[in-house]
Amino acid sequence: MSTFVSPDLLPALPADAPRTAGSAAAADAPGALVARAEFPLLAADPTLRYLDSAATAQKPRAVLDALADYYARENANPHRGAYRLSVAATEAYAAARARVARFLGVGDADTLLFVRGTTEAMNLVAGSWGRAHVGAGDEVVVTAMDHHAAFVTWQQLAIARGATFRICELTADGRIDLDHLAALVGPRTRVVAFPHVSNALGTVNPVREIAALVRERSAAIVVVDGAQGAPHLAVEFDRLAAAGVDFYACSGHKVGGPMGIGALVGRRALLEAMPPWQYGGDMISLVEDQRTTWNVLPHKFEAGTPNVADAVGLAAACDLLGALGLDRVLAHERALVGQAMARLAALDGVRVHGPSAERRSGVVSFSVEGVHPHDLATILDERGVCIRAGHHCAQPLMRRLGVSATARASFWVYSDPADVDALVDGVQAAQRLFDGG
Ligand code: PMP
Instruction: Residue 186: count other Cβ atoms within 10 Å of its Cβ.
Output: 13
Phi, psi of 173 (to 5 degrees): -95, 20
For residue 436, the CA-to-ligand 1 centroid distance in Å is: 38
- Whether the CB of 119 sits within 6 Å of ligand 1: yes
Share of the chain above pLDDT 90, in %: 92
Pocket flag, ligand 1, residue 118 (CB < 6 Å): yes
pTM equals 0.93
Predicted confidence at residue 30, as pLDDT, reads 60
Counting residues of the chain whose pLDDT is more than 70, the rounded percentage is 93
Strand pairing report for 388-390 and 49-50: unpaired
Nearest CA to ligand 1 atom 6: 227
What would the mean pLDDT of 148-175 be, rounded to a whole number? 98
Q: How far is the CA of 227 from the centre of ligand 1 (A)?
A: 5
Q: 46 C-alpha vs ligand 1 centroid, how far in Å? A: 28
16-40 pLDDT, tens per residue? 333 233 333 333 346 999 999 999 9
Is the minimum distance from the CB of 199 to ligand 1 under 6 angstroms?
Answer: yes
State how far the Cα of 383 lies from the Cα of 377, in Å rounded to an integer.
10
Contact 115, 277 (CB under 8 A): no
Nearest to 63 by CA among 33, 40, 92, 89: 40
State pLDDT tens for residues 239-254.
Answer: 999 999 999 999 999 9
- Please indicate whether residue 149, judged by its CB atom, sits closer than 6 Å to ligand 1: yes
- Concerning whether 393 is annotated as a catalytic residue, the answer is yes
Residue-averaged pLDDT of the chain? 93
